[in-house]
Amino acid sequence: MPHVIVKAWPGKSRENKEALAYGIVRLVQETLGVPESSVSVGWEEISQEQWPEQVYRPDILEKEETLLVRPGYVPAELSGNKGQ
């Protein structure tokens, strides 16, 4: 407890991923008052083409009640604005 999963487009370096992961661990420790050993961070790379169906629809649209921060975009594939 807790486990955080970061989903992002491919292309970030191992150093970028680790810097973000350890930053998340520090923030979770400070905010929730838990030891570092109880925090884990995963990283999943999802291509831009797969993002609408593998991330946006299941994790954002279908779980709106769990979102604490909403994104400021809607993928064209899901907005009805294909080709615009």
Do 34 and 59 lie in one domain? The reply is: no
Do 32 and 58 lie in one domain? The reply is: no
Do 31 and 12 lie in one domain? The reply is: yes
Q: What stretches of 1-84 show up as alpha helix (H) in DSSP?
A: 14-32, 51, 76-79
For the chain, how many residues are written? 84
Residue 75 designated active-site: no
pLDDT at 20: 98
More reliable by pLDDT, 45 or 83: 45
Whether pLDDT at 80 is above 80: no
Condensed to tens digits (0 to 9), the pLDDT of residues 39-75 reads 999 999 999 999 999 999 999 999 999 999 999 999 9
Q: pTM for this one? A: 0.86
Please provide the DSSP assignment of 10-32 as one string. S---HHHHHHHHHHHHHHHHHHH
Active-site hit among 2, 35, 71, 75:
2
Domain coverage including residue 72: 49-84
Do 8 and 41 lie in one domain? The reply is: yes
Condensed to tens digits (0 to 9), the pLDDT of residues 7-36 reads 999 999 999 999 999 999 999 999 999 999
Number of domains in the chain: 2
pLDDT at 28: 98
